[in-house]
Structure 1
Amino acid sequence: MKKISAKISLIILIALFFYACDSVKRVPDGKNLLAKSDVIVDGKKVKNEDVTGLLSQKTNTRFLNLPFSLYVYNWAKPDHDSLFAEKFIKDSIRFQRTSKFLSSKQVYRLGESFWYSGIHSFLKSTGEAPVILDELKAKKSITKLKGYYFNEGYFNVDAKVAIDTISAKKASTTYTVTLGNPYILDSINRKISSPVLDSLYKRTENLSVIKTGQQYKSDNFEEERNRLTNNFRNNGVYNFQQNYINFDIDTIKTGNKANVNLIISDYSYRDGDTLVTTPFKVYKISEVNIYTDNPSSKSTVKIADSVVYNNYNLYSIDKLKYRPKAITDAVFISKGGTYADFRNNLTSRSLNNFRVFTYPSIQYEIDPRDSLASSLIANIYLSPRKKYSFSASLDAIHSNIQDFGLAGNASFSIRNIFNGAETLEIGGRGNIGSSQDLANPDNTFFNLSEYGADMRLNFPRLFFPVRTGRIIPKEMIPSTQISVGFAKQENIGLDKENFTGALTYNWTPKRYNSVRFDLLNIQYIKNINGNNYFNVYRSSYGALNNIAQNYTVNPSYLDLNGDLTIPNGANGFINDALFNEPGINPSQADFNAIRSINERRNRLTENNLIIASSYSFSKTTKTSLLDNNFYVFRIKGESAGNLLSLVADASKQPTGPNGNKTFFDIEFSQYLKGEFEYIKHFDLRNNMVFATRTFFGIAVPYGNSNSIPFSRSYFGGGSNDNRAWRPYGLGPGRSGARNDFNEANMKILVNAEFRFKMFGKLRGALFVDAGNIWNVLDNVEDEDFIFSGLESLRDIAVGSGFGIRYDFGFVVARFDFGFKTYNPAHEVGKRWFREYNFSNTVFNVGINYPF
């Protein structure tokens, strides 16, 4: 009770502190702080950011109805330079006394230090200066409000502002807007001078954004102007621009109706001193030139090598370094074709996907050989990147496993390695770290390490023995990646060796859709030090050792303290208990627990061979980094072991120790796996976003397996999951995370997060996370772990909390505090809010947003 009272008192004191802050501390005499600003439209207060954002002056940013940003600014001393000079420079006695410890030069530099100067600059840049009421800006806001509603069809709008004094040095502004009746579109007529444009307009007239009966809105006219421009330019009208489209709106004596006249004039250009007007026409492509070296002076360059391939002309200032087909397959501008903007964009995207060029430049010129001047020569200029590149990095890291670590990475790239715009990347990595949680018999500081190497070969096309153009055309910008890798862990866990290999295809069916198809994804995990299992998974050892204390155990299994030795004592006791050795007759509960421990040990220490195929599809409506109103949809299906099962049957491979099929004496995994994820962001305006995520995944073993490999299973908790639990610390089910690294083969997760701006670059968030993992359709028999139907949904764990984020512009540093709101590990009736306190808070650090 005392702790609760102390926390409440602290919160009250902090609140009183901020309320006691003098918000007008930096407001000059004779001026007023703009403390409140309202917009009233037709008698109703408007909070729509589209409207309030028009005001030339807005109040200081408020959080919890307090101007924190103003308080931060006020904490900074406005004249810190002069104060420092008065204190240390002009005071000769203090200057001499300080110079005894610091040199005179250092005393002067002290004024530039963070404590005397930097902290005040930081506070000013992080906070906000007081907004001083400016009547001229208030009048400017009236003009903006009138213009906004005029563009919404309210041609008789009226607006005024009232300025009131609230208290000393504080004032408010109230903008009152009277709209009147909106204007409605009535007749829509067109006057298009060029026959070509008139014909193109008629084809898509039904798609017009402007329709009779609509309320007049300027944005609709702008959208129609963009639609027509794109339509014309994508159908050969090369020199068409938006400024040729005009709308004449007639509202004279129409009774709040607007008659629209669409006017599209002919093409005009200046020939010397003469302005020439001529109808627009459709342009054809007469020639396509590709310059593979992008010479800086295109008019004087000497071409050393050239080739004509499939109606494309390729030029190089040196010997041509690229196979013509590799380049031309990425070009969608063709000789004899009609000019189209979308072909330029598609060509740029496809060539940029090569990763051997910088972004290409595409330019057009009128073909002088065409007497009708209706043909274009397309010139494509490519700027090659350096053939060889090298990069390296060294980082200090901290994670849930490593207390401290050093990680280094190095990569070497070779571009255009086979003259087909391929890229070969070779990388190496290493990591040494220290962990107090892992077994460390030698008591060394760096008690874990990992090193590895990877090689990736990228093809900017589908690398396949048969033609795939009809199924996956080149417009989908396909690519292929072949990768192999090796990694080894030493003095950490079971000292794993991990061999990987993959053949992956990627393509984009539509602009914001993407597909990934892993034809082969191979992983072989070899556990070098399986005998170290009980040193690593201490909870399993603790449970086994506690059971052993209740029975007469072979003395050779025990150490001087009477505990099971590792590994011989633990392994020996398991064998005696499971095979009914004399003297050991465990109860059914203990027998089940020992069997469960043994099954988990066997699964986590066995070598895994996984050969899988997978298909992933994702779609997003996010169009830019500033888009806060979008969704992301992703599905994935994976199948493993089917190919190996056929090979094992055909070659009559022997069975392994568990009775399963083998491949090169290794029992391989066989399963089906499916995942679904949906992310939705809602833009609430005023720098507020509501973000949600839903995830469901399940992996079902069958055939040659009765469980899922650890590397393909699911876990709960962590900074991007349920933030009230640590990684691997949640579930399965209501088991209460009995093991050290808890995982299962089914997962449900739902997240919701309300994000808002606090002040400056500081952001805040309130979140709720709900989810868990379960075992289903595998060899786990403990009911606490198993998903048995809809009743198991009551075991979904709920965490909630708040987060603070700092936006650096290029990256967001994230700090989240999660509280266990509903913990299914407790007995029914004691699950809600039993650990909802700061002593049980889980602190998460992350980079960027979790979803």
Structure 2
Amino acid sequence: MKSRFNKYSKYVFASGFAAVSLSCSNTKFLKEGQMLYTGGTVKIENDSLSKKDKNELQAALEENLVPKPNSKILGLRPKLYFYNIAKEPKKDKGFNYWLKYKVGEKPVLLGDVDREFNRKIIENYSENKGYFNAKATYDTVSKNKKAQVIYTLRPGARYLVNHVKFQQDSTLINREIQTFTDKTLLKPGKPFDLDVIKNERERIDNGLKERGFYYFSPDNIIVQADSTVSKKHEVELNVKLKEDTPDLATEQFSIDKVIVFPNYNIQDVKRGKYSVPMNQDSLSKYAYDDIYVIDPKHKFKPKIFDRALYFKKGDLYNRTNHNLTLNRLISLGVFKFVKNEFIVSDSLGHRFDAYYLLTPRQIQSLRLEALGRTNSANYAGSELNLNWTHRNFFKGAEQFKASIYGAFDFQMGGQEDAQNLFRAGSTVQLSIPRIVAPFRFNSSSAFVPRTNINLGFEFQNRTQYYTLNTFSASFGYLWKENARKEHDLKVIDITLVSPSKVTDLYKSKSEKSDAMQRVVEKQLIFGPTYSYTYTNTMLSKPTTIYYKGTLDLAGNITGLVTGANVEKGKERKIFGIPFSQYAKIENDFRLYHKFTEKTSIATRLIAGVAYPYGNSEFIPFSKQFFSGGSNSIRAFRARTLGPGSFDPRKIEQGTLLDQSGDIKLELNAEYRANIYKFLNVAVFADAGNVWLINEDQQRPGAKFSKEFLSEVAVGAGVGLRLDFSILILRLDLAMPLRVPYYEKGDRWAFDRINFGDSQWRKDNLVLNIAIGYPF
């Protein structure tokens, strides 16, 4: 180790010297009299403020200072350096232009800083936070052509809210406001804060929108502040309507007629083909319960709008039902554009008509796809898909999808004897926009619940080994509580795997492996499955999460009724095939955190267990867990890791195609950074493994035990991602850091790393080529 340190120490020192040189070299490009701006800081002089309040105020003020200094990485400014060394390009293209203006960053000079403007920002922000007597000054500190601006703030005492008054009068709108003043955000004893006042105005507006005041606006509310009522740095707030509030904003509206145009086309409007029936006689023939559906060609069943629309005749307008209706119409999947208009029909009675102008999508589509593909088993190849979609199959927004496909896959970087794969099959799905069940399902969600019926068949041929026919069918429900929470319940999910050909070569290789023999056994799997998904990754927050939990119960009721117990010789069959009985649960938790717009970290934890019992001694191969590959532990080739500390080197090459397990633990972490537009890089680390529930004499060390932590594999690497929006091409180069099948106590592989050895590189560097991010 000492010799290795001496070997590389000169490079470490050279890198450090280069870093220091880089940090100093930027100033030499400055012209006479120019100074590089290194940033502004705010000092707060107030002994009465707590340390926490000082820190919060300081951080907020510094965030508001403009401009921002040149970006830094590890204390250096490489982007500024690239800008300085690049020649001025003659054209807006070419290498020099790319290096200077795309990779590089123009220097921010002291002359670019309006210090007086920043001083006013500091005072104004402080006053908005209740420091009414705030005064700020600034000073400039310069050295070696670098300058920093120091702002000093003397905020004085912070004013607190003494009393909150909601002015009362006899108007209807005022009486409505008084009913929810108990939930006001303005609290006596709290600091005066302009942002809180703005939020209070929004709160009042939201409350009134729920009570029929469609034309009201937050700008119609004024909050008056009086700081003369007390000598103790207190302020009294008076909340009231502005005197110039329009009369229309103070009126409470209800729904008169609800009119739907399901074949609305803006081009027809421009051509004068579109007209709105305005009288009751012309509307009456389109009536359906309390709504009117203007559909002369009867392309849609009126019932689908009755389910989707929340407004009925006589209902008081409220924003919640307004938004729910629009979202449900969109989630039907049959309309490309959804437009809503409210037109006053009776100003004296304070009523308006609700119009829904719906532009249908193309009802039928036929699409042929030819594509290159990769999967988690490191297979790459080509696939041809023919897809037909009908978005209004029974005129009730039912979506019918049918597809046929064929694919040929070959393994890249995998096992030598893995053999190639040929797959062909067909799937059909009918998705009905409601819950079809003998029970009543009420949903106030903005998303239409769906009943899904799926049928599928796949022919799979692993060349020179075997051919499998897989039949699948499912019936279930998919519904969302909101944009974050989704439920997927398959009441029945059936899979039948039937081998039609097993070669002598495969039989000879599997003679000593029960696991390989189970791959080509007939498998009948049926039972309910349920998955729950929660995500807020669509929000613009620095930290977001994703969670998916799946529960798979197979053959449980059937096994209980028939008294199945394979351990006691009571194996039960259906159509001559033993049915599988097990319970399986899997959890996938992900956390994403953004440091900046261009840098982030993503982490994932997978934990799952499948337990066979009753009619099954083993989990079906297709339902087991696997580890390794481009979306898992990337330092190990696909499906070659585990189970446990089992050593695959002790068996004949190709004897086991896939290593599977009943228990899975996996942890991944990845730091991501954008370098230039579509070019992204990553540094990652993966850890995990799979284990068996029961002992396997043919695979010693495979069973899960209390020593499982010592059998966790660890890998790390770097990645390059080409993000072309419609396609993300990912290249990950990984190497193992901890190998579970090495001798216990010698499983860390740091001392074996030798990039200069070609054989080591061949055995340990694994290149993963994939489409999309791993998680």
Query: TM tier, shorter chain?
Result: 0.7 to 0.9
Find the partner of 2:402 among 421, 426, 429.
426
Q: Which residue of 2 aligns with 1:670?
A: 581
Find the partner of 1:605 among 520, 524, 544.
520
Q: Which residue of 2 aligns with 1:98?
A: none
Q: Which digits, 9 at most, give the CA deviation of each residue in 1:119-172, with x for residues without a partner?
A: 63265213322223335434333333333333332233333333333324x433
Q: Distance in 1 between matches of 2:375 and 2:486?
A: 32
Measured at CA, do residues 632 and 181 of structure 1 come closer, stay the same or move farther in structure 2, by a change above 3 Å? farther
Secondary structure (helix, strand or coil) at the match of 2:333 reads coil
What one-letter code is carried by the residue in structure 2 that aligns with 1:710?
A: F
Find the partner of 1:389 among 346, 355, 365.
365
Q: Which residue of 2 aligns with 1:707?
A: 618
Moved more, 667-676 or 345-354: 667-676
Q: Which residue of 1 aligns with 2:744?
A: 828
Q: 8 Å contact 1:126–1:761 — kept in the other structure? A: no
Secondary structure (helix, strand or coil) at the match of 1:57 reads coil
Q: 8 Å contact 1:192–1:265 — kept in the other structure? A: no
Q: Which digits, 9 at most, give the CA deviation of each residue in 1:548-592, with x for residues without a partner?
A: xxxxxxxxxxxxxxxxxxx45x57xx5xxxxxxxxxxxxxxxxxx
Q: Which residue of 1 aligns with 2:79?
A: 69
Are 1:490 and 2:461 counterparts? Answer: yes
Find the partner of 1:160 among 137, 158, 161.
137
Are 1:628 and 2:538 counterparts? Answer: no
Q: Which residue of 2 aligns with 1:513?
A: 485
Find the partner of 1:459 among 432, 444, 450.
432
Secondary structure (helix, strand or coil) at the match of 1:320 reads coil
Are 1:53 and 2:56 counterparts? Answer: no
Between the aligned residues of both structures, percent identity stands at 25
Q: Which residue of 1 aligns with 2:712?
A: 796
**Structure 1: stretches of 5+ with no match in the other structure:** 82-111, 270-276, 535-566, 575-596
Q: Distance in 1 between matches of 2:496 and 2:670?
A: 38
Return the offset for 1:616: 1.5
What one-letter code is carried by the residue in structure 2 that aligns with 1:150?
A: E
Return the offset for 1:310: 1.7
Q: Which residue of 1 aligns with 2:26?
A: 23
Return the offset for 1:286: 1.5
Return the offset for 1:461: 1.1
Q: Which residue of 1 aligns with 2:531?
A: 616
Q: Which digits, 9 at most, give the CA deviation of each residue in 1:443-464, with x for residues without a partner?
A: 9xx9543233222222111133
Q: Distance in 1 between matches of 2:111 and 2:359?
A: 52
What one-letter code is carried by the residue in structure 2 that aligns with 1:481?
A: N
Q: Distance in 2 between matches of 1:772 and 1:707?
A: 19
Find the partner of 1:301 among 253, 260, 274.
274
Are 1:328 and 2:306 counterparts? Answer: yes
Q: Distance in 2 between matches of 1:48 and 1:660?
A: 72
Q: 8 Å contact 2:477–2:490 — kept in the other structure? A: yes
Q: Distance in 2 between matches of 1:201 and 1:780?
A: 75
Q: Which digits, 9 at most, give the CA deviation of each residue in 1:749-785, with x for residues without a partner?
A: 3344555677877666555543322111576785611
Q: Which digits, 9 at most, give the CA deviation of each residue in 1:698-737, with x for residues without a partner?
A: 1111122111122211122344433443432332222245
Q: 8 Å contact 1:820–1:835 — kept in the other structure? A: no
Secondary structure (helix, strand or coil) at the match of 1:134 reads helix
Moved more, 497-506 or 675-684: 675-684
Q: Which digits, 9 at most, give the CA deviation of each residue in 1:652-680, with x for residues without a partner?
A: 9xx9xx97333233332221111233334
Measured at CA, do residues 25 and 631 of structure 1 come closer, stay the same or move farther in structure 2, by a change above 3 Å? same
Return the offset for 1:80: 4.7
1:472-491 residue pairs with structure 2 within 5 A? Answer: 472=443, 477-491=448-462
Return the offset for 1:849: 4.9
Q: 8 Å contact 2:529–2:552 — kept in the other structure? A: yes
Are 1:257 and 2:234 counterparts? Answer: yes
Secondary structure (helix, strand or coil) at the match of 2:80 reads helix
Q: Which residue of 1 aligns with 2:50?
A: none
Secondary structure (helix, strand or coil) at the match of 1:526 reads strand
What one-letter code is carried by the residue in structure 2 that aligns with 1:458?
A: S
Q: Which residue of 2 aligns with 1:149?
A: 126
Moved more, 34-43 or 409-418: 34-43
Q: 8 Å contact 1:502–1:522 — kept in the other structure? A: yes
Moved more, 807-816 or 30-39: 807-816
Are 1:244 and 2:220 counterparts? Answer: yes
Q: Distance in 2 between matches of 1:319 and 1:696?
A: 54
Q: Distance in 2 between matches of 1:836 and 1:500?
A: 47
What one-letter code is carried by the residue in structure 1 that aligns with 2:494?
A: I
Are 1:313 and 2:292 counterparts? Answer: yes
Return the offset for 1:515: 0.8
Q: Distance in 1 between matches of 2:244 and 2:430?
A: 50
TM-score (norm 1): 0.77
1:619-768 residue pairs with structure 2 within 5 A? Answer: 619-624=534-539, 626-642=540-556, 645=559, 660-682=571-593, 689=600, 691-736=602-647, 739-753=656-670, 767-768=684-685
Q: 8 Å contact 1:803–1:814 — kept in the other structure? A: yes
What one-letter code is carried by the residue in structure 1 that aligns with 2:484?
A: Y
Q: 8 Å contact 2:378–2:768 — kept in the other structure? A: no
Q: 8 Å contact 2:478–2:488 — kept in the other structure? A: yes
Secondary structure (helix, strand or coil) at the match of 1:727 reads coil
Q: 8 Å contact 2:718–2:732 — kept in the other structure? A: yes
What one-letter code is carried by the residue in structure 1 that aligns with 2:541?
A: D
**Structure 2: stretches of 5+ with no match in the other structure:** 47-53, 650-655, 756-760
Measured at CA, do residues 748 and 131 of structure 1 come closer, stay the same or move farther in structure 2, by a change above 3 Å? same
Are 1:34 and 2:37 counterparts? Answer: yes
Q: Which digits, 9 at most, give the CA deviation of each residue in 1:186-205, with x for residues without a partner?
A: 11011255633333333332
Return the offset for 1:806: 6.2
What one-letter code is carried by the residue in structure 2 that aligns with 1:164?
A: V
Select the structure of larger CA radius of gyration: 1
TM-score (norm 2): 0.84
Q: Distance in 2 between matches of 1:376 and 1:634?
A: 44
Q: Distance in 1 between matches of 2:555 and 2:409?
A: 35
What one-letter code is carried by the residue in structure 1 that aligns with 2:208?
A: F
Q: 8 Å contact 1:192–1:264 — kept in the other structure? A: no
What one-letter code is carried by the residue in structure 1 that aligns with 2:262?
A: T
